[in-house]
Amino acid sequence: MMQAGSMKALMGASSNINLVNTPMRVFKEAENRGDTETMKRAMGYAAELGENAEKDAVKLGEETVKETREARKQQEIEREQAIAKTRQKNKTRREQALNSAEKPTVEPTEITNATAADRKAKDSVEISDSGKAAIAEQMLSGEVDMLVRDAVTVLYSSSAKTQPLEQPQAAIMDVKG
C-alpha cells in the first residue's frame, strides 16, 4: 500500500518526465531554425527536469523502503497482539476447565445411598441373563458381530466418571423407539 511520501515522489517523477517533452520539442524546432541559444536554453530546461525526475525516483525508492519497514513493524505488532490475545483466551479456558473439574457435580453420598427407585429414575440399561444367552446364541450363529460380556450397572456423573452400583435383580426392560 502506497503512503503519501511514495505517492508524492512517484507523481513528481512522472510529472518531470512528462515536462521534459516540452523543452525537447522546443530544442528540435530551434535546431531546425539553427538557433543555438534557444537550443542551449531548451537543453538546460530538459536537463533540469530530468535531474528533478531522477531525484524524485531516488526519493521514491527511499520512501518505499521506509514504508515497507513501517508496514513490517505494524504487522509484527499486530501479530504479537493476536498471539497475546490467543494466549489469554487459552489461559481463561484452562482456568475455567480447572474450576469446573474441581467442583464435584454429584455428591458421593448420592451414589452410595442410591435406592432402587433412584436408579430407575436415572438412564440405565441392564441385560438380563436370558438376554445374554440370546446374544451368545446369535453370536454363535454369526448374527451379532460384537462380543457382549457380563453387563455391569454403572452410574455416569456429569463429569463422565463411572461409579459401579450394586447389582439389582435381573429384569428385562422393554425399550421401544
- In angstroms, rounded to a whole number, what is the distance separating the alpha carbons of residues 36 and 165? 115
Tell me: pLDDT of 36 over 50: yes
| CB proximity list for 159: less than 8 A, separation 6 or greater | 101, 104, 105, 106
Is residue 16 one of the residues assigned to a domain? yes
Q: Is residue 49 part of a domain?
A: yes
Q: State how far the Cα of 89 lies from the Cα of 55, in Å rounded to an integer.
A: 51
Which among 54, 84, 102 is the end of a domain? 102
Contact residues for 101 (Cβ-Cβ < 8 A; gap 6+)? 159
* Residues in the chain, total: 177
47 vs 117: which has the higher pLDDT: 47
Tally of structural domains, the chain: 2
| Any domain includes 72 | yes
Instruction: Tell me if 173 is assigned to some domain.
Output: no
pLDDT of residue 72: 94
pLDDT band at 136 (very low <50, low <70, confident <90, very high): confident
Q: How far is CA 151 from the centre of its chain?
A: 45
Residues 157, 164: Cα–Cα separation, whole Å: 11
State whether 79 and 133 are in the same domain: no
Q: Is pLDDT of 90 > 60?
A: yes
Per-residue pLDDT at 142 exceeds 60: yes
Same domain, 9 and 92: yes
State residue 149 phi and psi, 5-degree precision: -90, -175
What pTM, to 2 d.p., does this model score? 0.42
Domain containing 48 equals 4-102
**Structural domain includes residue 126:** yes
DSSP 158: T
Burial group, residue 9, by CB count within 10 angstroms (0-12, 13-18, 19+): buried
